[in-house]
Amino acid sequence: MRERNLMLLHYITGLGILLFGAIHVWTLFFTYPLQETIWETTLRFDSLPYAVLPVYRNILFAASLFGLLLCTTIHAMNGIRAVIAELIGARIRWVEAVLVAVGVFLVVYGTRTILIANNLLV
């Protein structure tokens, strides 16, 4: 019962990542003021992140970012759970508990980043 629903969640979040991830990449790709250099600035980490911030001020973009964050966290933690179980040959409860904790931390920390970037916080 539970496993089937988890697996359905895995598929749905996977497709969600495809949708929100496409928005994430494409928005940056086309709304960035310097279209010529977008790949340079995303590939070069030393570009000023504050220059990207105006794009993040859009509330819809922030919402899609949050969706991406949520989907990726669930998808990644569920995937890592399976990989770890298969790596050590058994399911260990505390490992799964740690993964849930890591997932909660990622969502909270990422949400904070999105909110700050969206000028809603601080």
Partner 1 sequence: MAASVKFRVYRYRPEDGGKGFYREYEVPVKKGMTILDGLLYIKESLDPTLSIRYSCRMAICGSCGMRVNGIETLACHTQISELRRRVITVEPMKNFPVIKDLVTDMAVLFKKQRALLTWLIRRDLVEQENPTHQYIQSDEELERYLQFTYCIQCGLCYSACPVVSTFPDFYGPQPLMKMYRYFADSRDEGGKERIDLVDKFEGVWRCHFAGSCSMVCPKGVDPALAIQLLRRASLRG
Partner 2 sequence: MSRSEYRSTVLQSLKTMLIAGKYGLERWSYVLQRISGVVVALYFIAHVLETGNFIGGITVWSVPDYSFAEKAYEETVKLLKNPLFDVGLAVVGFLVTFHTINGIRLILAHFGFFLGKPRRPEPFEPPVSFSTRQRALFWLSISLAVFALLYALDSLMRVFRT
Q: State in angstroms the smallest separation of the CB of 60 from partner 2.
A: 19
The residue among 97 and 116 lying less far from partner 1, judged by its C-beta, is 97
- Our finding on whether 7 is near partner 1 (CB under 8 A) is yes
- Asked if residue 44 binds partner 2 (CB under 8 A), the reply is yes
Identity of the residue numbered 108? V
Contact (CB, 8 A) for 114 and 65: yes
- Considering the complex, what minimum distance in angstroms separates the CB of residue 59 from partner 1? 36
Give the span between the Cα atoms of 43 and 30, in whole angstroms: 16
Structure token pair of residue 112: 């904070």
**Residue 18 binds which entry of partner 1, partner 2, none, with Cβ cut-offs from 5 to 8 Å by kind?**
partner 2
User: CA 85 to CA 46: how far, in whole Å?
Assistant: 38
Kindly give, in sequence order, each residue whose CB lies less than 8 Å from that of residue 72, ignoring residues fewer than 6 positions away.
13, 17, 21
d(CA 69, CA 78): 14
Work out whether 71 is an interface residue with partner 2 (CB under 8 A): no
- Which residue from 49, 92, 104, 120 is in contact with partner 2, where contact means CB under 8 A? 49
- Please give the residue ranges that form the binding site for partner 2 (CB under 8 A): 7, 11, 14-15, 17-18, 21, 39-40, 42-46, 49, 69, 72-73, 76, 79-80, 83, 86-89, 102, 106, 109-110, 112-113, 116-117, 122
